[in-house]
Every structure is written in C-alpha cells, then in structure tokens.
Amino acid sequence: MAGEFIVAATGCPTGVAHTYMAEAALKKAAEKRGIEIRVETHGQVGLENGLTPEEIERADGVIVAADKEVQIQRFAGKPVVEVGVKEGIHHADDLIDRVLAKAQSRERAGAAAAQDVTEDENDFLNVQAIDETQGTGWRKTGRAIYKHLMNGVSYMLPFVVGGGVLIAVSFLFGIYSADPSSEEYNEFAHMLNEVGGTGLGLMVPVLSAFIAYSISSRPGLTVGLITGLLASNMGTGFLGGIVTGFLAGYGMLLLGKLFEKMPKSLVGLKAIFLMPVLGTLIFGGITYVISSPMSSISSSLEEFLTGFQNANPIVLGLILGIMCAFDMGGPVNKAAYVTGVALLGEGNLEFMAAVSAACIAPPMITAIAVTLFPKGFEPGERRAGYVNYALGATHITEGAIPFAARNPLVVIPILMLGSSIAAILTLLWGVTSPAPHGGFLVLPIVGNPFGWIAAIAIGSLVAGVVYGAYRVSRVKKAATATAAAPVPVA
C-alpha cells in the first residue's frame, strides 16, 4: 500500500509516562517504514494533538493503545486495532502491521450506519462502537472493565489529593480550628477545611461520572454524576461510585439501543429530553434503593467495632487493618474511620491512632515497593508510587487504589497485612491521637509520636517488600511468556 497514513490515540490511567512512551514508540516505528502517522495523547493534562475529522477520514487505519477512554466511537467505519498502552510501547511495529492488514482486507470496526448520523447522535446512538473492537472472551471483557474503572480513577485522584491535603493542613491550626464554636477557631483553617471538604466530597461523583462516560460517552456522564452524588450523599463511599458508574454507563448504553428505532425526526427530543430524564429516573431510582443497604453496612460495622474497642490489641489491630485496607474509602473503611471519630468523643484516643496508622499504610506500602523494587513497575507506576509518600503522610489512603485495582485479589490482602501490622503495633505501644485526620502533620499532638511512625514504617516496609517481590516475579513471568509466544500479526 503506497502512501500509507495511519492515526493513533494513546492514554494511560495516570497520564504521565506510558501515554507519551507509546506515542514515541509508534512514531519511531512508522518513521522507520516511511509511513505517515498522527498520534493524539490523552495525558493527565487532557487531550493533546487531537485528531481532526479530516485526518480520521483520510487515515487507512487507527491504532488505539490506551487503558482509558479515548472516544473510540469517532473511528466507526475505520479499521481499528485496540490494545493496552503497554502494547503500544513494546510492539509498535506489530500494531502497524495489524492495522495495515485490516486496511488491506477492508475490515471495519464500526457499524456502517454510523456514517449517516450527526455528531450529537453518535454520543447517544453509537456508543456501542466502543465494544465492537473488543472481540469476545473473558480476558477482553476484564480489560474493558479495567479500562472503564481506571478512567474514573484517573479523574478522581486530583480531587482526592487537592481536597485531602487541604483538610490535613487545616489541622495544623488546631484539632477544632475549623469549628466556629471552638476557642481554637481560625478563619483561615475553616476556609481550608471547607474548600478541601468540597473537593474531597466530589471524589465519588467524579469517579462514577467518568466510569460511566468511558462506557457510554455523554449520556453516561450525566447520569453517572447524578447517581454518584446520590450514592455519596447516602454514605456508600467510593464503592458506591464504582457501582453507580457501571450501572449508569451500561444502563445508558442499553437505553440508547432501545431508542435506536425511533424516527430520526425525534432524535433531538431523545437526546435532549428522553435520555437524560429517563436515565436519571431509572438509574437514580435504582441507586436510591441499593444505597441504603450499602450504607447500612457501615452502620452495622460501626456497632461491631465499638464493641471491640477494649479488646485484645492484636485482635483489634487485625480487624482495623483489614477494614481500612479492604476498600480504601468505601463503606468498610469508612466504618472504621467513623467509629474512631465517634470514640474520640468518649476519650478513646488509642482507637483513632490505630485507624489512622492503618489508613496511612496502604499508600506508603506502594511507595516503598516502587522504591525498593523499581524493576517490578513501569515508569508511570513508579512516579505515582513516589507521590504516595506525600499522600500517605497526609492520610490519603486513596493513593493506593490504582495499584490495588490492577490485581485486587492479590494486592488488597498485601495492603491488609501492612495496615494490620501498623495498627497492632500502634495499639501495643499505646499511641494516642486526638486528631481524626492530618497524617504526619498532626505529629506534635500525637502521644508517643516516634512509636506511631515506627509502627507505620514497620507495617509498610513488611508489606512493601512482599508487594515489590510479587511485582518483580510477575514481570519475570511476563517476559518469559513473551519470549516464548509469537505475537499475532492480525
């Protein structure tokens, strides 16, 4: 094929390193073969070098090397090869071969009918094009779910970081400095607490909205944001955001298919009125029903934990460590945290210190793992891990979520191990903390601060070594498998 021209889109969940490494690899491979290529990137700063409709139309084929939503429905009717971002880095030549082979055989990734609808209709009628390039099989289904989840997490994390750090800083002015009725009240601290709380409060709605957006574009974004906020207000934690995100995303996808046979004259009514109203009603109603049982989990666990406040330190520390690392912001984690806050009012300062230690440990574990075992992690993961030193130090457990999401059945138990050790040692050494948040910023008011730091460090180090060794072993196994198996060319 003479004068080939292909376009590509790259993107990774954190949008830091892999996105641009895949871009560079594709450009280099195309240049060596005299093929013209245009690559758009979906990094942390957003879309860069966006592809124009004219370029997409002219392209012989499309390569999508991404682990997040890149609006693949734009490429309906074009030969598309869709893979993870790592494939774009390590197998750029093979991807070019595959997309050119598809172009030569006139394969098409999207529905032909999509060529006759308007841009606005695409958002509502043809979001199924996302799935048509995925093929079948559990592996691809799992990859699609992971991509949608990480798309939500990538948008959520800045809210967690911005809001959580400001709340932590507000405690530097005093434990009750944000309370107007307290003698410690400080107006600036109150402002920090309000702004930070608002940012942190958007965590669940944003997570839900962008999971849904990844699945079904703009219709999912609207309903996902509404249902996520509803779930958050009803106390479901970030797990509620995951549930409502997938509910709204796939629900709106189904709703769009049900409306496909409507006359074209009613497309405007459907897009502006029927879809958002019915979607909000149906999936908002489902969220309203399921949120109460989810939030009741927290209430039941709070009562359970209150009864254990004077239990054996090893037993209590083990329970707190498992709960805090189980869902890192979800109803189980929240139950432990809220119980600790409630018991502060009864004068039990040791319980809160143990909860804080268990919440600080997960991000610290990932940070230590990428530091001690860098070969087990990709560059983007290492950078995210280094950031987790700061997030852990300010009691932002959610920094560990992207790491846990990659393989929760293995990683979460490792995080539970580290959190449990930190909580047990904190209780055994009699550490006390009157602050419900703040991480190491509240060390001046922590009883036995050196014991607290040592407990967190020991728990994080033990689990960090286990996690790092596990990741190194995975990299070695993957390298062996890659060397043994040929890469398919079509």
For residue 423, what is the enclosing H or E element? helix 408-428
Structure token digits, residue 406: 């990659």
Residuewise pLDDT in 10s, the chain (490 residues): 457 899 999 887 655 567 888 888 899 989 888 889 999 988 766 678 888 888 888 888 899 988 777 877 788 888 888 888 878 888 888 888 888 888 887 644 443 434 443 333 333 323 333 333 444 456 667 777 877 887 887 788 788 778 877 887 887 787 778 888 888 889 998 999 899 889 888 888 998 999 999 888 888 899 999 999 999 888 877 778 889 999 999 999 899 888 877 777 676 777 788 889 999 999 999 999 988 887 777 677 777 777 776 778 898 899 999 988 987 766 777 778 878 877 776 778 888 899 999 999 999 999 999 999 999 988 778 888 898 998 888 888 878 888 887 788 899 999 999 999 999 999 999 998 877 777 888 888 888 999 999 999 999 999 999 999 999 998 888 777 766 655 554 4
Domain boundary among 79, 110, 141: 110
Catalytic residue among 12, 66, 103, 338: 12
151 & 99 share domain = no
Q: How many domains does the chain have?
A: 3
**Alpha carbon distance 284, 265 (integer Å):** 28
3-state secondary structure (DSSP) of residue 279 = helix
The domain boundary, picked from 247, 268, 294, lies at 294
Check whether residue 288 and residue 343 sit in a common domain.
no
Do 265 and 322 belong to one domain? Answer: no
Is 12 marked active-site? yes
Q: What's the rounded Cα separation, in Å, for the pair 196 and 279?
A: 31
The rounded distance, in Å, linking the Cα atoms of 367 and 467 is 10
Q: Both 120 and 106 in a single domain?
A: no
Q: Specify if 301 maps to a domain.
A: no
Q: Residue 62: which domain range?
A: 5-110
**145 with 128, same domain?**
yes
Say if residue 212 is in the same domain as residue 322: no
Q: Which of 63, 92, 110 marks a domain boundary?
A: 110
Q: What is the pLDDT of residue 145?
A: 82
Task: Please report where in the chains the tokens 């390590």 appear, as a residue.
Answer: 90
Q: In this structure, is residue 300 part of a structural domain?
A: no
Query: Are 369 and 464 in contact, with CB atoms under 8 Å apart?
Result: yes
Asked if 126 and 90 sit in the same domain, the reply is no
- For residues 10 and 132, membership in a common domain is answered with no
In-domain check, residue 327: yes
Q: Do residues 238 and 378 share a domain?
A: no
* CB distance 326 to 332 below 8 Å: yes
Residue 329 counted as domain residue: yes
> For tokens 């809001």, what's the residue?
163
Asked whether residue 349 falls in the same domain as residue 269, the answer is no
State how far the Cα of 297 lies from the Cα of 305, in Å rounded to an integer.
12
Residues 99 and 204 in one domain: no
**Same domain, residue pair 86 and 228:** no
- Say which DSSP state 65 is in: E
For tokens 């009628």, the residue is 125
| 67's tokens | 């682990």
Does some domain include residue 490? no
User: Does 259 fall in a domain?
Assistant: yes
Say if pTM beats, i.e. exceeds, 0.85: no
What are the helix and strand counts (H, E) for the chain? 19, 5
Say which amino acid occupies 128.
Q
Residue 211 forms part of a structural domain: yes
Nearest to 412 by CA among 315, 284, 475, 322: 322
Residue 302 within a domain: no
Reading the block at residue 464, the tokens are: 């960090």
Return the half-sphere exposure (C-beta side, CA atoms, 13 A cut-off) of residue 416.
15
User: In CATH, what number is assigned to the domain containing residue 32?
Assistant: 3.40.50.2300
Overall residue count recorded for the chain in this entry: 490
Sign for the pseudo-dihedral over CA of 398, 318, 393, 444? positive
Burial of 190 (0-12, 13-18, 19+ CB in 10 A): middle
